[in-house]
Amino acid sequence: MTLASVDCPGLVTHSKIESNQTKEVDCPMKRARILVTVLLTMCVVAVTSTMAMADVLTDYGLKPLGSYDLGGNTVTIISWTSERMQNYFNDYIPVRDRIAEAERLFNCKIEFMQTREIPETNFTRLMAGESAYDLWHVQNKIGYFELVSEGAVLASQDFLPAEFFEALPPALQATEEALKFKGKYYGIGNVEWRPMYGYANDIVFVGYNKTLFEREGLPDLYELYLDGEWTWEIAGEIAAKATRDLDGDGVIDQYGMTDLRAWDLAISNGANIVKLDEGGRLVYAADEDAYIEAVEQFVEWWNTGVLNNSTNTGNNRQLFIDGRAAMHFNITPAVMANNLIPANMADEWAIVPFPKGPRATEHLYPNQALSTTLIPVNAADPEALVALKVFLWQEDDITVNDFLAAHVRTREAGEVLLEAHEYWTGSSSRLLETYITEFNDAIAVIRDEGASPATKLAEIRPVIQARINELFGQ
């Protein structure tokens, strides 16, 4: 059973960029926790064979397996994680023979190209006529908007049936909805390199040091979360109590918080840098009250010394690993899967969602990076390339247990992780990251020079809005 097969009325299947209002949840958290507990006790065996997967394409409104012929050509899958994708197909048992089987069924060869030069590599291959059999892995901040806005890729909505998008796992549906460009879908769903497909890779959680909390007599965040009491106000109180000069030398040795970003905090208050207005235009929204409140709260924690934010994410993470930060506000599934906080960390730690802002009635989930796959505009057979991608990465390859085993070590953490995927609305705290450098500079000036958040965030509106208008042709 995969997460998408869970029957729950609150399951999110669509989202909108403008979702800066608190989501009404139809499925009570208590019911979800009971369901997750049941899932965690199930023993699920994934059986993969050609017969078992015979209808994987027709489920997406495509022709049956064996209907597509790529003429013996080489399909090149381009990504900044391509080497790890190869390792996934070599090492993960359910898909170990998938590449060879795909090459036979689609009459093609499959190669992986590893590069950080995206979208430059993509544009170069397109101009040279080398991309007719390419699959391009991109992200909102790694090439997506550049390639789409320049007409380098096909709008998938123009040649795929509606059933295709409806069949995507819920988290991928939410992603494609958030990445719509001028009202159209361009992506065909993510590709992955570990037991993860169908889930969101970069939802941001709060890690907390349970050992430190117990030593300092602080309330357990998981219990506060279950009781609906995990809020900004409580987070600030806990951080103040945890921040200490341990050796009396006048220098803080233990911080309440580390690695918190104002843009992620804004999501937890129902705000976003951009939103859709009533006329359907994408507009700058970081100068609205809910967003300003988040920046003001961020600055307050910074100025009172409870928040230690190095410019180096690795340093922030090490502060938490060393037991010198009570809460780490940048834990993602990628951090957990890559063991970036090592299993042999001396202290016990756990995760919870971001605390609720004053405008939120439910927990909201920041996500900095949204990934998908694009089809070049000169593709020789677009539908066949989509079918090949669908065959290579299948939702049923990843059981709930596989996903949890790759990321968490406790039942409580598993509950938090699955509930986040159930209630994430597709909102991205950094959707247009490569187009809003003025925003980054403004946050730095507000934090370091004491500028007014309301004034500074309003000041940059014209230039950012002009860039958004140009990008989206509005």
| 61 token code pair | 């409104």
Beta bridge mates, 136: 78, 374
Q: What gap in Å lies between CA 194 and CA 339, rounded to an integer? A: 13
DSSP 8-state secondary structure symbol assigned to residue 119: T
pTM: 0.87
Exposure letters 399-422 (e unless 16+ CB within 10 A, then b): bbbbbbebbbebebbbbbbbbbbb
Beta strands in 95-148 (DSSP E): 109-114, 134-139
Burial grade of 357 (CB within 10 A; 0-12, 13-18, 19 or more) = buried
Q: Which domains does the chain have, with CATH numbers?
A: 45-201+369-398 (3.40.190.10), 205-366+429-472 (3.40.190.10)
Q: What gap in Å lies between CA 137 and CA 122, rounded to an integer? A: 10
Dihedral (CA of 160, 163, 164, 170) sign: positive
DSSP 8-state secondary structure symbol assigned to residue 244: B
Burial grade of 13 (CB within 10 A; 0-12, 13-18, 19 or more) = middle
Strand order across the beta sheet in which 74-79 lies: 109-114, 74-79, 134-139, 371-374
Tell me how far CA of residue 412 lies from CA of 334, 345, 425, in angstroms: 18, 18, 22
| 155 token code pair | 């709008």
Which residue type sits at 225? Y
Tell me how far CA of residue 184 lies from CA of 147, 169, 188, 375, in angstroms: 14, 19, 12, 14
* Residues 413, 350 contacting (CB under 8 angstroms): yes
Q: What gap in Å lies between CA 280 and CA 148, rounded to an integer? A: 19
Residue 273's pLDDT is: 96
Give which of 9, 96, 4, 31 is closest to 415, Cα–Cα.
Answer: 31
The position carrying tokens 């600030």 is 236
Residue 250's pLDDT is: 86
- C-alpha 31: how far from chain center: 25
Rg of the chain over all Cα atoms, to the nearest angstrom: 23
Beta strands in 231-352 (DSSP E): 255-258, 274-276, 282-284, 307-308, 325-331, 349-352
What is the tens place of the pLDDT at every residue in 247-262?
888 889 999 999 999 9
Q: Give kind and range of the element (H or E) at residue 153.
A: none
For the chain, residues with pLDDT lower than 50 are 1-53
Q: What gap in Å lies between CA 442 and CA 453, rounded to an integer? A: 8
* Residues counted in the chain: 474
* Residues 200, 333 contacting (CB under 8 angstroms): yes
| 415 token code pair | 């509950």
Residue 1's pLDDT is: 30
Q: What gap in Å lies between CA 3 and CA 198, rounded to an integer? A: 8
Q: Give kind and range of the element (H or E) at residue 5.
A: none
SS3 288: coil
Which residue type sits at 191? V
Q: What gap in Å lies between CA 69 and CA 268, rounded to an integer? A: 47
